[in-house]
């Protein structure tokens, strides 16, 4: 079984990087983003292993992540709440765009050669 836990990374004013898992009592801090990622990954694994060893039900993530998209330039700023997919953008490769035009309703996946 695979469960996804959201993890938030923040750079502190001191330059340190903190990481936490919303809804769980897990927090780690380190000097670099890579160190913070390793620390929170180890901490989450240890937490879940401890829960399993005590036969305590594993915690399920309760956090929902959304993105605030803020448009400035006018008064007042416009704030829209959108899904996390908005962070990924919608650009696609030239090959996929060409395949979509060729394939029409069959989808845009390029044909393998």
Let me know whether 12 and 48 are in one domain: yes
Q: Would you say 99 and 111 are in contact if contact means Cβ atoms under 8 Å apart?
A: yes
pLDDT at 3 over 90: no
Residue 45 falls inside a structural domain? yes
Let me know whether 42 and 12 are in one domain: yes
Residue 102 falls inside a structural domain? yes
User: Is the alpha carbon torsion for 37, 38, 40, 41 positive or negative?
Assistant: positive
35: alpha, beta or left? (left if phi > 0; alpha if psi -120 to 50):
alpha
Residue 58 falls inside a structural domain? no
Let me know whether 48 and 75 are in one domain: no
| pLDDT class of 98 with cuts at 50, 70, 90 | confident
How many domains does the chain contain in total? Answer: 2
Report the predicted TM-score, pTM, of the whole model to 2 decimal places.
Answer: 0.64
Residue 59 falls inside a structural domain? no
| Tens-place pLDDT, residues 39-91 | 999 999 999 999 989 998 877 777 888 888 899 987 899 999 988 777 776 66
Q: Which domain holds residue 101?
A: 66-106
Residue 61 falls inside a structural domain? no
Residue 2 falls inside a structural domain? no
User: Is the alpha carbon torsion for 101, 104, 106, 107 positive or negative?
Assistant: positive
| pLDDT class of 113 with cuts at 50, 70, 90 | low
């Amino acid at each position: 079984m695979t469960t996804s836990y959201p993890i938030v990374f923040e750079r502190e004013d001191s330059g340190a990087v903190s990481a936490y898992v919303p809804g769980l009592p897990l927090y780690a801090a380190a000097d670099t983003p890579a160190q913070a990622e390793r620390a929170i990954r180890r901490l989450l694994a240890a937490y879940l292993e401890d829960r399993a060893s005590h036969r305590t039900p594993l915690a399920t993530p309760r956090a929902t992540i959304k993105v605030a998209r803020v448009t400035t330039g006018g008064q007042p700023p416009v704030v829209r709440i959108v899904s996390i997919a908005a962070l990924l953008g919608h650009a696609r490769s030239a090959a996929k765009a060409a395949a979509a035009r060729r394939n029409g309703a069959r989808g845009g996946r390029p044909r393998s050669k």
